[in-house]
Amino acid sequence: MTEFWLISAPGEKTCQQTWDTMMAATTRTNNLSTNHKFSIPELKVGTLDVLVGLSDELAKLDSFVESVVKKVAQYMADVLEDSRDKVQENLLANGVDLVTYITRFQWDMAKYPIKQSLKNISEIISKQITQIDNDLKSRASAYNNLKGNLQNLERKNAGSLLTRSLADIVKKEDFVLDSEYLITLLVVVPKTGYTDWQKVYETLAEMVVPRSSNLLYEDNDSGLFSVTLFRKAIDDFKHKARENKFTVRDFQYNEEEMKADKEEMNRLSTDKKKQFGPLVRWLKVNFSEAFIAWIHIKALRVFVESVLRYGLPVNFQAMLLQPNKKTMKRLREVLNELYKHLDSSAAAIIDSAMDIPGLNLSQQEYYPYVYYKIDCNLLDFKV
C-alpha cells in the first residue's frame, strides 16, 4: 500500500502514552497497520484567528502542491517514455524513496526555519512551488515542441508507400534528370498487382519508354516502381494508372530539399538528446523539492488542526499509519472507537453516515481525531 494516514491525538499523561495506546489498538493484537511516529518540531502558534484562517489556506496550498508533485511525476513518465521502473527510480525525495522519506520524516530547518511564523513558512512553500510549476510549464512546452516536430518528420519517413517520404528510399541514379522531354515517375503498386504492372505499364500511355520500370523498394503491402516516359504523356499515364489501381506519387527529385530535410531531422534529434539529460535532472531535483514541500504542508496542517482541536498548551502526538489494504475498514473502526470521546459531533456524523448541512463535513473526511491522507501513488500509467 502506498497510502498513509497521518493522524494526531492529544497527549495523555505523556505523548508516549498516546503512542502506546494507538500501537496496542492497531498492531499488537490485530496487525491493522504499520505505524511510525511523525516528528513535528515546536512551531510558533500565533493567535487563534490566524490559525483559523491558515487552516483554510493550507488546505488550498496542499491541493496545489499535490497537483504540482503529480504533474512533475507524470511529466517524468512522459519524458522517460512511460518505462515504469525507470520512472520510479527517479522519483526520490532527498535521495531516498518516498515511503522511506515519509516514514523517517524530519523537518528541514534550513528551508523552513521554525522561528518564522506559520504563515511565513506557508508563503515560502507557496512561492517555491509556484516557481516550480511555472518552470515546468516553460520547459515542458519547449521540449514538447521539439519532440512534436521530430515525431512529425519521423512519421513522414514511416508509414505506407502511399504517404511516406521517399527521400531516404530513392537515389539519383533512379531518375532521368535534366531532360527536356523525358521524366521519371514513381508508382506505388500493390504486391498482388506486380504481374499486371509488368504486363501493362508500357501501354498506359503512348510515350512510355520500354523496359524502363524498376522495383526500387518494397514494404509489407506494396512496391515502389520507377517508370520513364515523355513529359507530354504524364496526365494520360496518371489517369490510366489510377484506373488500374496504381498510384503515381507526386515526387520530384531535389537533392537540396532532401538534404535539408535530413539535416533538419538530425538537428532535431541532436537537440532532443541534448535537452533530455538536463531536463530529467531538473525533473528529479524539482520533484524532490515539491514532494518535500508537500509533506511539510501535511505537517503544518496536522500542527494547526491539532492546536485548533485540542487547544493549548501544544500537546499532541502525530502518527503515521500505513494501513493494510484488507483491513482498512476495520482500522477506521478501531480508530473511531479509540478517539470518539474527543469529538462527539464527529462520532455522530460517523454513526449516522450523514452530512450536517452547512458544515461540508462528510463521513469520508471528518473524524474525531485529526486526519490527512498521503497517497504516494502519483502516476497515472496508461495501461
Q: Please state the domain extents for the chain.
A: 3-127+287-375, 175-252
Cα–Cα distance for residue pair 103/297, rounded to 1 Å: 15
Rounded mean pLDDT, 141-152: 93
The set of cell numbers assigned to 236 is 494520360
Helix, strand, or coil (residue 48): helix
The whole-number pLDDT of residue 68 equals 98
The candidate with the shortest Cα–Cα distance to 38, out of 250, 255, 232, 316, is 316
pLDDT tens digits, one per residue of 305-355: 999 999 999 999 999 999 998 989 999 999 999 999 998 776 555 555 444
- Whether the pTM exceeds 0.75: the reply is yes
**pLDDT band (50, 70, 90) for residue 374:** very high
Q: Provide, rounded to the nearest whole percent, the portion of the chain with pLDDT above 90.
A: 76
Cα–Cα distance for residue pair 268/282, rounded to 1 Å: 21
Cα–Cα distance for residue pair 230/208, rounded to 1 Å: 7
The whole-number pLDDT of residue 135 equals 98
The whole-number pLDDT of residue 354 equals 46
pLDDT tens digits, one per residue of 78-117: 999 867 678 989 999 999 999 999 999 999 999 999 999 9
Phi-psi region of 14 (alpha: psi -120 to 50; beta: other; left: phi over 0): beta
Higher pLDDT among residues 361 and 233, named by residue: 233
Cα distances from 375 to residues 294, 296, 362, in angstroms, run: 11, 15, 20
Phi, psi of 14, rounded to the nearest 5 degrees: -135, 165
Class of domain 3-127+287-375: mainly alpha
The whole-number pLDDT of residue 154 equals 83
Rounded to 10 deg, the angle between the 118-156 and 48-79 helix axes is 20
pLDDT tens digits, one per residue of 219-243: 999 999 999 999 999 999 999 999 9
Q: What topology does CATH give the domain 175-252?
A: Alpha-Beta Plaits (3.30.70)
Higher pLDDT among residues 199 and 359, named by residue: 199
pLDDT tens digits, one per residue of 268-291: 999 999 999 999 999 999 999 999
pLDDT tens digits, one per residue of 235-268: 999 999 999 999 999 998 888 888 888 898 899 9
Residue with cell 453516515: 353
Helix (H) or strand (E) segment spanning residue 34: strand 33-37
Rounded mean pLDDT, 52-59: 96
Indicate the average pLDDT of the chain: 91
Rounded mean pLDDT, 129-153: 95
Cα–Cα distance for residue pair 338/358, rounded to 1 Å: 27
Helix, strand, or coil (residue 200): helix
**pLDDT band (50, 70, 90) for residue 29:** confident
The set of cell numbers assigned to 26 is 492497531
